[in-house]
Structure 1
Amino acid sequence: MESLYDELSAEQMLRIIFNYTTKIANERNLQRVLILMADMGREMIRADRCTVWIIDHSRGELFTRVAHGVEELRVPLGSGFVGHSIATGKPLLIENAAEDARHNEENDKLTGYLTRTVITVPFVGSDGQIIGAYQAVNKLAANGVFSRQDLEYLKLAASYAGKSLESVMLHEEIASTQRELILALGEIGENRSKETGYHVKRVAEYSYILALGLGFTQSEAEHLKMASPMHDIGKIAIPDSILQKPGKLTTKEYELMKTHTSIGYNMLGNSKRELLQSAAYIAHQHHEKWDGSGYPQGLKEQDIHLYGRITAVADVFDALGSDRVYKKAWELERIIALMKEERGRHFDPSVIDVFFAQLPSLLTIREQYRDKLPSPSELA
């Protein structure tokens, strides 16, 4: 029977590398990539713990989301063994951490873990710049000390996984930028109405909670969360005289206002990007009603895209509870009564059921992102 202290054969090492690099190459989530990398390094050299550190240039820090047994850690950029290794671009093999002045004892205090022996290997990106480092801690062997062979193996793991890590980091940076742009675009319609605050942010967060409650995976719910801020993008084409009117709209004005749904769809619907296609459905259908009395198409029940049905609940809940230039915010009891009354009429019954099940979480979000009606000088 194989012991934790037995060294791996060449065949076992290749199997570990192949299994993990295949998984890493097919993964696009940074957290999961870091977990896979840490697990690969730990198995390859029989370390008790393996940590993947990433440089955060904006904050001048190193951070890890994967340090076996602990949550995220952050340290100053030049701190400890990993900071030294990244600064010099050279790997380290430390036999006795306690006797080395570069050891960052604060990490041990934070984690309650005793670091004895360490290997640190930098990751290099395609441009030759260091993006982070592997760090293995405490050898699972009779003598408890890493060998030069262990160092070479961890360097091998870094060379295999480093490029995938860079790719995923770039993917996440693009996704983060995309989220910011979508949120900013979604706020345009609200700002045109002279509304300030977090309406689109709250609708996005509500949609996420409702989606999870309906059985969406986390990635599916995140997708909806990113798309829902665009629900009122079509308002950029609606005249100020209508958007900013403090009183009730005339029939003609209301008909023009309703066109923001089709305008939004036409703006987004020709994109081949899945996210923008989803946003197009939401923009077009978030004013449709379960009983078919909504607009612009008079769709009903399952003919309304589920994204539209979810966003409709999130949007109405937030709109009723917010001050607008034409109305004051409703009391919560009045909102709850209407949401119950409109189950099966305006709203999909299954979405409303989740709404009430998740109401405490929704109210927490509402409180977290509470806003104020602009002052008269801001409206002028």
Structure 2
Amino acid sequence: MSSVLTAVLGVTGAAVAAIVVVEASHWAMIRIGRRSALAADLAKNMHKPFLVTLTLIAIQQALRVYAGEFPGRAGVIHALVLGCIGAFAWLMAELLLVCEDMALARWSTDVPDNLRRRRLKTQVVMLRRVTVATIVVLTAGVMLMTFPGIRALGASVLASAGLVSVIAALAAQSTLGNVFAGIQLAFSDAIRVDDVVVVEGEWGRIEEITLTYIAVQIWDDRRLILPTSYFTTKPFQNWTRSSSAVLGTAEVDVDWSTPIEPLRAELRRACEGSDLWDQRVCVLQVTEAIGGTIRLRALVSAADAGALWDLRCLVRERLVAWMWENQRGSLPRMRTQLDESDDGVAPLRHTRRSDASPDARVFSGGDDGEARGAAFGGVDGHAPAPGDPVSAGR
């Protein structure tokens, strides 16, 4: 009876001592947390795992010291060891997650020009998932190695590891491909959380990146779920890879007799009167002259994709309204000539290219235009092959 009483008192005392130490530490961290966000997070997230870990360790050691031989002693000790391993893994996981949360909180993405912050957020989120998966696998392995029978099978398992790896790789080829693709995307900077992309014909924002799939929030609040391997095997548009500022277009078909310079002036007034324009690009050009109409393309710029969409709609609306009020003859018309006599229409004088205003140039005229021309120029300094140089606004 004395030995049983000693064991009970010893185990109880160890558990109480562990609880007292944990609660005292928790109280101290709360006090420190009033001045430190890190201490506050540690006190909030690590209280329970620290309490469970320290209590299990104290009980296990007390049993080893104070308890003699009793039926089932080995099983109880082994169960406590497994509990200690699991609790310690929980404690380490919470510690790493607190550190990752602090990194995310320090580099918040809700600020202008957040390219670097979005890159860090993507990598930290991916590391969080890899960290949790690694801790779970290692914990399970350590727990299994505490069983003598499994340790005895270790040699044979290692001997057949090559065959098992091949079979597992073939069975999980698709899953493993997505996992490696997710890690590759996180650190290759191809896409990041909050990037604006055009994928599968849909325009949206990267909402979440995991090891197996990527969630794209479409502009109308739908969600497009794609495997991570999609972004490493198929082409897609990333509008914010180097910066959040983007260019977009608004196209209008008008009659051949339309004076262009008044429309350029109206485009400039529309841009300057809107806070959506970032004052970089405001250009109106004739991009097509086929059939019975000519196509005007208004190229404008904005600080981000959302503002660009609204600016494009505003520019299109202003140009259409201005033409209806001031140049109704500019609306597209179908002409039929019954004879070859003069139709009485005076020849239209278009401004020569060399005398056109800066708002008629995309790759020249102004520092921004010259830089864009240098970026897209060929070896001989001329623009590349014919085609549409701007696809972001389509």
TM range (shorter): under 0.3
Of the two structures, which has the highest relative contact order with CA contacts closer than 8 Å and spacing of 6 or more?
A: 1
**Whose radius of gyration is greater, 1 or 2?**
2
TM-score (norm 1): 0.27
